Amino acid sequence: MSSNPHEVARKAADELRSRAGVDSFDVALVMGSGWVSAADELGAAGEEFPVHELPGFLPPAVEGHAGLVRAVKAGERRLLVFLGRTHLYEGHGTDAVVHNVRTATAAGASTVILTNAAGSLRPELRVGRPVVIADHINLTARSPLRGASFVDLTDTYSAALRALVRDIDPSLAEGVYAAMPGPHFETPAEIRMLRALGADLVGMSTALEAIAAKEQGADVLGLSLVTNVAAGLSDRPLDHEEVLETGRDAAPGVGRLLAAIVERL
């Protein structure tokens, strides 16, 4: 992205609001691998179109990342739902990765819900279950911020939103998400390292978007769907198809959870 990325995000937000016929959005949701069909549970879908029609967005690269943006009305709440995201491993840099969040906050969203597919590092975090992200370890060696933007990441994943989710479903576990650059999965030795570092989940997204959302003053909720057990912790080989399949099976349940969360915001 050549010009100021925040400027491009404001342009994208303006075009989005005008196409959706909405003055301002309240909540943004980013639906990661395995979460896309869960979006259908959120409420009445309004305008929907390929996100790359907006300034600054790239065409999708990976199967299962639909690359659509949808306006949804859920009661009084205006939701902005991204079906798919740009990942760092696509090679377009951090501005491309967080352009969704910057566009959403520029369009008024003060709550950002980030969802993803993750590998589990703990036996209690079972395949097919959503896990509330308590914190992250950003191992991408990148930041979406530039210059003297010393954002406090103490409460990156809002304690209030985490409490709300666990009030809705007290059986949900919480975990620390390790963000890796990908696109390969980890070696068993790297998974042992991540466990030693205090991670419970591993994936290739979310952390940079959460940082960008905090820079804009938004409250962030992170939810991982455990789609597989990480390398060396099970006999099963890892593949992207397994990730998508688990997501499809879990979609109605996690969709109802999201709908319940949005209703109570």
Catalytic position from the list 205, 207, 210, 250: 205
Active-site residue flag, 33: yes
Contact positions with ligand 6GU (CB under 6 A) in 176-205:
180, 182, 185-186, 202-204
Active-site residue flag, 240: yes
- 228 marked ligand binding residue: yes
What is the closest distance, in whole angstroms, from the C-beta atom of residue 38 to ligand 6GU in the complex?
Answer: 16
Residue count of the chain, please give it: 265
Label residue 28 left, alpha or beta by phi (over 0 means left) and psi (-120 to 50 means alpha).
beta
Q: Site size for ligand 6GU, by CB under 6 A?
A: 15
* Residue 227 · residue 205 · CB < 8 Å: no
32 residue type, one letter: G
Contact positions with ligand 6GU (CB under 6 A) in 200-229:
202-204, 227-228
Q: Is the dihedral of CA 121, 235, 185, 130 positive or negative?
A: negative
Among 39, 118, 131, 165, binds ligand 6GU (CB under 6 A): 118
Active-site residue flag, 87: yes
The CA distances from residue 256 to 15, 52, 125, 155, in Å, are 30, 28, 20, 26
- CB proximity list for 211: less than 8 A, separation 6 or greater: 98, 138, 143, 144, 145, 151, 153, 156
Catalytic position from the list 12, 13, 33, 138: 33
Q: Which stretch binds ligand 6GU (CB under 6 A): 88-96, 100-108, 111-119, 158-166?
A: 111-119
Active-site residue flag, 31: no
Distance separating alpha carbons of residues 116 and 203, to the nearest angstrom:
8
Catalytic position from the list 174, 240, 259, 260: 240
Helix (H, G, I), strand (E, B) or coil at 68: strand
* Residue 99 · residue 86 · CB < 8 Å: yes
Active-site residue flag, 6: no
- 136 marked ligand binding residue: no
Q: Could you list the residues known to form a binding site, using ranges.
A: 33, 65, 85-87, 117, 186, 205, 228
Q: Could you list the residues known to form a binding site for phosphate, using ranges.
A: 33, 65, 85-87, 117, 205
List residues binding ligand 6GU (CB under 6 A). 117-119, 180, 182, 185-186, 202-204, 227-228, 230, 238, 243
Active-site amino acid positions: 33, 65, 87, 89-90, 117, 204-205, 228, 240
